[in-house]
Chain A
Amino acid sequence: MSAPGGAASLETLGRLAVSPGRRRKDRLARGAILTATLLALVPLVLIVYYLLRKGLGAWSSDFFTTDPTGSTFFKNSNIGGIKSAILGTIEMVALASAIAVPIGVAVAVWLVEYGRDSLFANVVRFFVDVLTGVPSIVFGLFVYIVLIVGTGTSYAGWKGSIALSLLMLPVVVRSAEVILNLVPNGLRESALALGAPRWRVVGRIVLPTALPGMVTGVLLAVARAAGETAPLLFTAAYTHETTTNLGSFMNSLPVQIYTDVTSPTPRVVERAWGAALTLVLLILVLNMVARLVSRRSRLA
């Protein structure tokens, strides 16, 4: 059955076309957006490429097993590797995590299970949010004021850890809170309905369910702390030797890189690249593990 109106009119054909001006604008806008997106990816590619190119050259077995020597000004001197930096980072970050994680998780548990929507809890949330925005150098200053000027003692590894833990704390609290909120309330209610006390419900039901998600958050916080330089400048300072004594000056990867960056000696700069590659690799591994763990989470 033919449509009333007869054969296709020229009018109709023209109607189903869009003005070239609009089409052009659309294409231009989309092109600009795509270009900008690619532009955003360029730095990443360049950084990775450069890190690999310059950093791999510095890597050797000596690089990882010897401490940096202090003699960096003479061309023929042995400048050493970055052993103390790596170990220092590991030690300080481990201590910082040991402080920040339990406290952070505890605060998050309180926020979600006990404080909930009370005024006090919201005030705490606000302040935790405030802490996230504080520049890391201010944390370093704070620890310096309280623990070095205030006590009259000198730089120490553990003081660096304190500064790092202050940095990690809000990250741990927020990520733990997000995850704990994702634990379905039904789970808590059925446990409570069985007559279990709240602390058991939290300890036996809620925390285990939230664990993978919280591990992810913790790993991300650790990755962040590992890369921080500024807080360590005024707390753990810098030294060459490897030491396990957290009460003394301690080296770390970021500080090592920072110290080497301004050196006029090319080999020292090369060492900086090698250390940078090591640090980035460490952080990437932590990030990857965090992602893998989060995939095993039974929550969102």
Chain B
Amino acid sequence: MSSTRPDEHVTDMDPDSTPETARRQPEDATASGVPAADGVRAPIVAPQARERAATTPSKKAVAVKLDGLRAFYGDAEQVKGIDLQFNANEVTAIIGPSGCGKSTMVRCINRMHEEIPGAHAEGRVLLDDVDVYGAGADVVAVRRAIGMVFQKPNPFPTMSIFDNVAAGLRLTARRGEVPEKVERALRGAGLWEEVSDRLSEPGAGLSGGQQQRLCIARSLAVEPEVLLMDEPCSALDPIATLKIEELIDELKQRVTIVIVTHNMQQAARVADRTAFMLAGELVEVGATQEIFTKPTDSRTEEYVTGKFG
């Protein structure tokens, strides 16, 4: 089944802004990925952001490219041929009505989709030009490079806060490095101040928002290049949601972020680019601003104006 190339908006507000320029200024707290000329969104900068950014080493994030991606549950095709690019150091939001296949598609990126019995995927997912479904790619290593945060916070119940963050680390890192990396990850998730004095307490004892940030820290600890977030705030209250959205804004300096959300306002707040999916197909993708104010496809327009979904 051939995939139709979606309408793609190439430019956003600042024609000179490229992922390269965004990457060149990791220490500048105002470079939250939003070009200066953009008047639509106020830069979300928290005072600690400067400090947080300073403690993280600037790491080269990569882009992800989906090439003809199809996903099946048995014989049923849920995702029907997607060509889509997620630019490095950007936040891309995937929006669409329930059941349109956005979660399925995202789970194909880190190959979690195949964990479901009878499910498989076709096509290519290129991480910096290497196909994660290719022969040379070990699924375990893929998942280290592409991390995931789930809808419902799921810290390991039998582990302390420290052990939770260290869980992924301990699989590959050297013993001595662990405490340092745990602290760095917790700082990166904006959780350090709140838990530094109780690292040995159970992870499940934190509030919902804190638990989700703990899960983010856990994913960050293994230093992925891409972070997939599947409706990370849908189980959280508005304040916790806001904290995480701020976090996303800083994190994109280190990782490429793909966020699935059913909340259009959230997409408008955090995402550089937005892709709209419907019934397993990619309808339209472009700068968030454009998608929400001047969509090209009528279906997109109907969705963002609330006519359905």
Contacts and interface: CB of A to CB of B under 8 A. Distances in A.
11 contacts: A3-B62, A4-B19, A5-B60, A5-B62, A12-B62, A12-B129, A12-B130, A15-B130, A16-B141, A17-B136, A23-B138
A187 to B, nearest CB: 33
Interface in B121-165: 126-130, 132, 136-138, 140-142, 145
Interface residues of A, number: 17
B145 A15 contact: yes
Interface string A11-25: 011011111001100
Which of A7, A15, A17 has the most chain B CB within a 10 Å cutoff? Answer: A15
Nearest to B19: A4
A15 B138 CA distance: 9
Contact of B127 (A6, A16, A23): A16
Given A15-B141, A16-B142, A7 B129 contact: yes
A194 interface: no
B87 interface: yes
B65 A3 contact: yes
A11 B82 CA distance: 27
B20 interface: yes
Contacts of A1: 8, 85
B204 to A, nearest CB: 27
Nearest first, the 6 A-B pairs at minimum CB distance are A8-B129, A3-B63, A16-B137, A18-B138, A16-B141, A12-B130
Contacts of B129: 3, 5-9, 12
A22 B137 CA distance: 15
A12 B85 contact: no
A16 B130 contact: yes
Contacts of B18: 4
Contacts of B64: 3
B172 interface: yes
Interface residues of B, number: 27
A1 B63 CA distance: 11
B141 A18 contact: yes
Contacts of B65: 3
Interface in A252-291: none
Contacts of A19: 172
Interface in A199-227: none
Interface string B56-70: 000010111100000
A15 B134 CA distance: 13
A5 B256 CA distance: 13
Contacts of A4: 18-20, 63, 87-88
Contacts of B130: 8, 12-13, 15-16
A23 B138 CA distance: 10
Contacts of B62: 3, 5, 12
Nearest to B171: A22
Given A16-B137, A18-B138, A9 B171 contact: no
Interface in A7-44: 7-9, 12-13, 15-19, 22-23
A19 to B, nearest CB: 7
Interface in A49-74: none
A159 B73 CA distance: 61
A16 B136 contact: yes
A111 B145 CA distance: 55
B242 to A, nearest CB: 31
Given A5-B60, A17-B141, 4 more contacts: A3-B128, A12-B62, A16-B127, A23-B138
